[in-house]
Amino acid sequence: MKTLYVKFIVITTSMMLISFILAFLVSNSYYHQKVKPVNDQKNTKIALNIAAFAKEHPMTNLGNYLENISAVGYQLYLVDTRGNGHFFGERFRDQILPRSTIQRVINGDIYHGILDFPRKTFVTGFFANELQNTIGVPLEHNGKSYALFIRPDIKFLFKEMHVLFGWILLLAISLTILMVLILTKFLIKPISTLTTATKSLANGNYHVNLDVKRGDELGQLSRSFLQMARRLEQMDDVRKEFISNISHDIQSPLSNIKGYSNLLNNDSISKALRTQYVSIINGEIKRLSSLTKQLLLLASLDRNEEAVKKRLFNVGEQIRGLIRNYQWAISEKELMLSFSIPDIEILGDPDLLETVWDNLLSNAIKYNVTNGSIEISMEERGKSVIVTFVDTGIGMNDREAERIFERFYRADTSRTRSVEGTGLGLSIVSSIVKLHNGTITVKSKEKAGSTFIIKLPVL
């Protein structure tokens, strides 16, 4: 049973067989408990009526009378006091009957063979064509004593019906097996399709076709599978883009360092150029160092939430301190800064959240225009604190705003080529905010500025 198709057929067939056996056992038990006593009483009454008629009509030919009785569906055995017996109707399969039983019936007892027939598991008394499975009554006719044993002739009564029932049973079993084969194939087909899709997905083919119109669990599974496939495709694209970006961001400064290092070996260059080259090399080294630190931080944030070490601290005081540190950069770019930051304590990781405020404030300065403005506000709403950074910088279009939190993504380089960056800052910001069970959203318009809104739980 290697395939689910074969397993399903075997299990279904086994269930049918077990159900049949259980139904048979229950029916057999019901016959012994309920039907057999009623059947015994009914046939006893018929036997007594036959005996009474024979006694009341001594001139009637007893043999012909019993022959007529057998013709309407009964098996009879008549035996006299000397042990001479005669069968009427269909012969019994088993004709064994103790002599003592015959004698008791002749003496006036009634033999309840149907009621007292042994309770066997797989043979009900109703179908046991045995002389012991009869009703025995005393019979007197024309001054002679007899013992009459009688039972319904099951074969006669079901002469046509048992063939019909046999065909019905055979057809029912055959059609059931056929429907199981067909329906099983129908039920297993979506799973087989999913298996094929899974293998295709494992080989890197994310474009799979599945039936998502089904309203059952298989339809839900197919829809979930397609969602997973799309998500894996996006993750694969992000991975490829990540590798491409990180390769470029590492290769570019390394190439510059190598190029300017080679130029430094030229003894004929002036001191001013040498100083300039050294400054460029130091800048590229600083850029690589920043990129490495950010990558290590991202890796730490991706592993688990153990990177977050929460404690109560004054977030308002933290942001105000950061603003003081950036006063020189704000003044250098001639920006107007306004802020409304009350003292609010929250439960969080001060070091990670300082990275969030640092990235947002440095971006607001970096991507702003000369004589522009920056507005920072913070307020407590219920069990959350809302921090907002608003700038009048170069802004972004809708497509850029949607992807701004992706790793290594940078907005249009034609507008930002003069601004250094790794494309990891806002991705780090988003990861830190999520680890604090918060949210970050951005609203931006080209040449009009951007607004970043961070919502964090207080506790």
Domain locations along the chain: 4-159, 257-303, 308-457
Q: Average pLDDT over the chain, rounded to whole?
A: 81
Residue 386 has pLDDT above 90, yes or no: yes
| Gap between the Cα atoms of 280 and 10, Å rounded | 75
Q: Which CATH class is domain 308-457?
A: alpha beta
pLDDT surpasses 50 at 437: yes
**Considering only CA atoms, which of 232, 171, 237 is closest in space to residue 206?**
232
DSSP string, 345-403: EEEE-HHHHHHHHHHHHHHHHHT--TT-EEEEEEEEETTEEEEEEEE-SS---HHHHHH
Cα–Cα distance, 331 to 326 (Å, whole number): 9
Backbone angles phi, psi at 107, to 5 degrees: -80, -5
Dihedral-angle region of residue 316 (phi above 0 means left; psi in -120 to 50 means alpha; beta otherwise): alpha
Q: Residue 134: left if φ>0, alpha if ψ -120 to 50, beta else—which one?
A: beta
Model pLDDT, residue 414: 43
Please say if the pLDDT value at position 24 is more than 50: yes
pLDDT digits (tens, 9 = 90+) for 182-211: 777 777 777 777 777 788 777 777 777 776
Render pLDDT for 117-135 as a digit per residue (tens, 0 to 9).
Answer: 775 544 456 677 888 889 9
* Rounded CA separation 392/375 (Å): 9
The answer, yes or no, to whether residue 419 has pLDDT greater than 50, is no
Instruction: For residue range 135-186, list pLDDT tens digits in order.
Output: 999 999 988 999 999 998 877 666 555 566 667 778 887 888 788 777 777 7
Quick one: pLDDT at residue 416?
43
Closest CA to 441 of 457, 455, 459, 456: 455
* pLDDT at residue 411 in the model: 59
3-class DSSP assignment, residue 361: helix
Lowest mean pLDDT among 51-55, 256-260, 332-336, 356-360: 256-260
Q: Indicate whether 28 pLDDT > 90.
A: no
Q: How distant, in Å, are the alpha carbons of 253, 277, 281 from that of 258?
A: 8, 11, 9
Burial class (CB in 10 A: 0-12, 13-18, 19+), 295: middle
More confident residue, 263 or 346: 346
Cα distance between residue 338 and residue 255, in whole Å: 42
CA distance 81 to 147: 8
Architecture of domain 4-159: 2-Layer Sandwich (3.30)
* 143-157, 234-248, 393-407, 430-444: the lowest-pLDDT one: 234-248
Give me the pLDDT at residue 259, please: 81
DSSP letter, residue 414: H
381: exposed, middle or buried (Cβ count in 10 Å: 0-12, 13-18, 19+): exposed
- Give the least confident one: 30-44, 230-244, 261-275: 230-244
Tell me, what's the pLDDT at 149?
94
Both tokens assigned to 349: 């990781």
Where is average pLDDT lowest: 142-151, 265-274, 303-312, 407-416? 407-416
pLDDT of residue 162: 57
pLDDT in the model for residue 140: 92
Cα distance between residue 27 and residue 38, in whole Å: 15
> What average pLDDT does this structure show over 24-39?
79
